[in-house]
Structure 1
């Protein structure tokens, strides 16, 4: 995920309304060749040798960056919603399977009960009572034969009641199975729709990524610098505001383990919906970091924000989770010194970023009752772990890096 430049909210609303149209270039003010608009095929032939190239204005690059960031946000929102529903789908599938297994067992018990009741009835009809031979067959210990016979006599006397109870159990489980299947179908339909929504956003994102890919090296450098300037400015303002407090805190023992796990994942690619071990999305990284610290937390960023205890920013300690955007659609692991480890966006890798790399919503603490350790030293950060995330790179571009 990325930090939006100033004016992002207003620009995002404008750009969101242009989902199916081109991002139009403003009048030329800088010496960059203009790429085709993001959502339309190129309509202008390449400039002939010796003729002036069409120019790209800074406004065009700003619009392109805003469009790209808006779609990154929408794609992550759609993916997080789908991931949450997919988790519910898996749980509902497990419940449905359990009920169906119970129903199968109940039907087997009903069949066996009917067979046994019939056998007892036939034996009693033939001999008027349970024969000694029958007793021996039903008991490994002849000394217990009389006790078994007594049980069979009672079963024979209540065979109609027994079969009735078994049939009632089968009926109840049949109803539960039908209800479970209905719930499963509803969740599956929702997951299918959300997967379609996610894929639709990804298709739009792919179109903008192609426009970014058509930029020259100088244009890409300016676009990246524009994004980085927004991040640096936001970090400077956050630190100057005093919202992070002036006291450096230490993590809990589990928090330190979560940080160690996150550092071990540096350089692994961002992949939609991934939870490791070879790739991650944002909440896949944070949930796995805390799982490896012995604390299970919800899978998605929205659930982490909703379910975990909130903590004020001025009381942050390493190991806390920083949640971003009004919809809680991105999350990162705080490591101290105003830094986080995050899985940023498609084309990127797990990296160390300023805490203000995205608009901060708040923070949560997975282990609110755990005491802090006495001392803590921020792990050494590899030189390439803070490298800017490429803009417009397809989701698999980071693989192998």
Structure 2
């Protein structure tokens, strides 16, 4: 691969890594109910009642207004869907990053391999020219024909060395060419995967924007007093779940201390309290839920998967009764949220858009399970 090809590949790679921003899907406001007829069919001024056999218009009932609690549940569901889409986006982004790095590595290996082939061909050509200048026989072969016993033995050794050198050059040339073919196939495969993950990123980003737009639209319809009550309802729902969790005796046997690495991860995570939630963010000014936990453990010297779903899938699982500060609690059936246990029945987490990194009850959401970043 020459420099022009390398530059073209690099430019194409940069373009492939750019995720196009999809337009936010519009949400239509509900259509107003059809007004009921206000006049009786027998009213001579009513066109519906004019004429023989005219039917009375059916009464259209007003749509039932949602309670604030129903609105809260709907908003929470929308944010959870956005959270799941954020996990999909983050996972696709992580895979794309790895694949782009692999493509760059393979491109460099191809450049080195081509240079090696040029060098080996040059060596093979030099051997062929030397044989031609010697009348078709290598110098060692000419010595073999000598009547001098010592020269004969020297010639035999030189012939063997020459044959081994020739076989070595040809063998290395063959292996290098085979490696180049493998590198090219691997690069093509990784490029296809990169493109597929780029499309997944774009789809996930569109879904995130769709769910967030719907949630914000619902919130924007509320009056100031209703928004304050909505926040209170959120707090009350979380408190109710936390109280039920504590009453179940979940903390009865949980009194373990954090490990040395766990303390470092905790120190990092709690230092981020007050910073805003932003989907796809992993610091230093904002975080999403798994961005916070993955960066906290990276700061402790223990890199872990980027997303909450991958953290649940790949990290060792432990029983709730065995958890200790620094462990990660995974929430909801789809593993779309994660928080770090800090002890005393609390977690530090990045809740959702519009909220900041904060402390919360470990049982304030539906717990799926607990994982430990350390073995």
Report the TM range for the smaller structure's normalisation: 0.7 to 0.9
- SS of equivalent residue, structure 1 residue 341: strand
Tell me, yes or no, if the aligned pair for 1:96 and 1:177 is still in contact at 8 Å.
Answer: no
- Taking the aligned partners of 1:82 and 1:74, their CA distance within structure 2 comes to 12
Tell me, yes or no, if the aligned pair for 2:331 and 2:369 is still in contact at 8 Å.
Answer: yes
Match of 1:7 in 2: none
- Taking the aligned partners of 2:361 and 2:239, their CA distance within structure 1 comes to 8
Match of 2:28 in 1: 40
Bigger radius of gyration: 2
The alignment's TM-score, normalised by the length of structure 1, stands at: 0.68
Match of 2:235 in 1: 228
- Alignment of 1:204 onto 2:211: yes
- Correspondence 1:161-180 to 2 at 5 A: 162-163=169-170, 165-180=172-187
Considering only aligned residues, what root-mean-square deviation do their CA atoms show, in Å? 3.0
Unpaired runs of 5+ residues, structure 1, are: 1-19, 21-37, 45-54, 132-146, 369-401
Superposed displacement of residue 361, structure 1: 0.9
- Taking the aligned partners of 1:152 and 1:268, their CA distance within structure 2 comes to 76
Tell me, yes or no, if the aligned pair for 1:75 and 1:198 is still in contact at 8 Å.
Answer: no
Match of 1:75 in 2: 82
Unpaired runs of 5+ residues, structure 2, are: 1-24, 33-61, 140-153
Superposed displacement of residue 157, structure 1: 7.0
- Alignment of 1:215 onto 2:216: no
Match of 1:249 in 2: 256
- SS of equivalent residue, structure 1 residue 94: helix
CA distances 1:97-130 after superposition (whole Å, capped 9, x unpaired): 2223222212211111112221232244235689
- Alignment of 1:120 onto 2:127: yes
Match of 2:300 in 1: 293
- Taking the aligned partners of 1:226 and 1:238, their CA distance within structure 2 comes to 18
The alignment's TM-score, normalised by the length of structure 2, stands at: 0.72
- Alignment of 1:185 onto 2:224: no
Structure 1 range deviating more: 282-291 or 240-249: 240-249
Superposed displacement of residue 338, structure 1: 1.0
- Taking the aligned partners of 2:247 and 2:299, their CA distance within structure 1 comes to 34
Tell me, yes or no, if the aligned pair for 1:71 and 1:201 is still in contact at 8 Å.
Answer: no
CA distances 1:6-25 after superposition (whole Å, capped 9, x unpaired): xxxxxxxxxxxxxx9xxxxx
Match of 2:100 in 1: 93
With over 3 angstroms needed to count, the CA separation of the structure-2 counterparts of 1:152 and 1:185, relative to structure 1, is farther
Tell me, yes or no, if the aligned pair for 1:83 and 1:273 is still in contact at 8 Å.
Answer: yes
CA distances 1:172-202 after superposition (whole Å, capped 9, x unpaired): 4223422332233134313413431332342
Superposed displacement of residue 336, structure 1: 0.9
With over 3 angstroms needed to count, the CA separation of the structure-2 counterparts of 1:188 and 1:313, relative to structure 1, is same
- SS of equivalent residue, structure 1 residue 237: helix
Tell me, yes or no, if the aligned pair for 1:99 and 1:173 is still in contact at 8 Å.
Answer: no
- Taking the aligned partners of 1:157 and 1:349, their CA distance within structure 2 comes to 70
CA distances 1:8-56 after superposition (whole Å, capped 9, x unpaired): xxxxxxxxxxxx9xxxxxxxxxxxxxxxxx9324767xxxxxxxxxx99
- SS of equivalent residue, structure 2 residue 368: strand
- Taking the aligned partners of 2:69 and 2:357, their CA distance within structure 1 comes to 26
Superposed displacement of residue 211, structure 1: 3.0
Match of 2:319 in 1: 312
Superposed displacement of residue 340, structure 1: 0.6
